[in-house]
Amino acid sequence: MRDLEGKAETKPATIGATPDGATDEQSASRQVRQMFSDIAPRYDLLNHVLSANVDRLWWWQAARTFRPILARPEARVLDLCCGTGDMSFALHKRAGGSGAQILGADFAHPMLVRGKQKDEARGSHLRWLEADALHLPLRDASFDLVTAAFGFRNLANYDAGLREIARVLRPGGECGILDFSEPQGMVGVGYRFYFKYVLPTVGGAISGDRKAYEYLPRSVERFPAPAEMVERMKRAGFARAEWSPYTFGIAGLYRGWK
């Protein structure tokens, strides 16, 4: 792991995700919710196909990072922007029979429906909540761990999202945000070509919604660079924050301590 403060370039500051046509935070949130609701039926298939199943490794690696918390029988865990629940299931598997309580939350209803269906098929008995990550109906200081896997980037206000995570975390609690980044060098060249040309074509063909898969590379391009995200986490109330790159920096885990 490494703290990237002062060691990487930062992008121009952005408030949050801005889909085409969005004029404010409210319209951005509405568009993102509708977008993910529309692609929910093909979401899992496309994630695995477009990442060549590397996404499974990333979830497992992130969940393994939080083994000490997940091993506690009284631990309470919140998986924000959970989509169809893949990160929630990875956390549950890593927790084993510890008794840790895991709650998956998302504001796109069709995504949660699919997550619940997978939960019933697996018999994992997780809990689910339909809620906006920027306005959580949850008490202050009520969770030991809050995660978000490939969903935080879609929030309409990154700083507000970080403050909300810090609010619901208990003192000493941890945060883990797994998301894409932009690798450098030749890996970055190939990555940007794939994201700009291949992903929208394949994703659009399978899902029937090319616009959603054109939005994805733009959202990654707009997302703060690791150094800036680390600083934003500290300003939001985390005593310490750091970033660990995954797979040549294609993705990475932001980890914060309250």
Distance CA 111, CA 116 (A): 9
Residue 71 resides in a domain: yes
Name which of 44-48, 154-158, 209-213 the model is least confident about. Answer: 44-48
> Rounded mean pLDDT of 110-131?
95
Assess contact for 152 and 177: CB atoms under 8 A. yes
pTM higher than the cut 0.85: yes
Distance CA 112, CA 132 (A): 12
Residue 7 resides in a domain: no
Q: Domain holding 47: CATH number? A: 3.40.50.150
pLDDT (0 to 100) of residue 13 = 65
DSSP-assigned states of every residue in 20-72: TT--SHHHHHHHHHHHHHHHHHHHHHHHHHHTTTHHHHHHHHHHHHTHHHHT-
Residue 14 resides in a domain: no
Whether residue 80 has pLDDT greater than 60: yes
Residue 228 resides in a domain: yes
Residue 20 resides in a domain: no
Whether residue 40 has pLDDT greater than 50: yes
Residue 247 resides in a domain: yes
CA atoms within 13 A on the CB side of 204: 14
Count of domains in the chain? 1
Residue 118 resides in a domain: yes
Distance CA 100, CA 98 (A): 6
How many degrees, rounded to 5, is the angle at CA 228 between CA 144 and CA 91? 30
Domain span holding position 209? 25-257
pLDDT (0 to 100) of residue 240 = 97
> Rounded mean pLDDT of 143-166?
97
Assess contact for 151 and 219: CB atoms under 8 A. no
Residue 2 resides in a domain: no
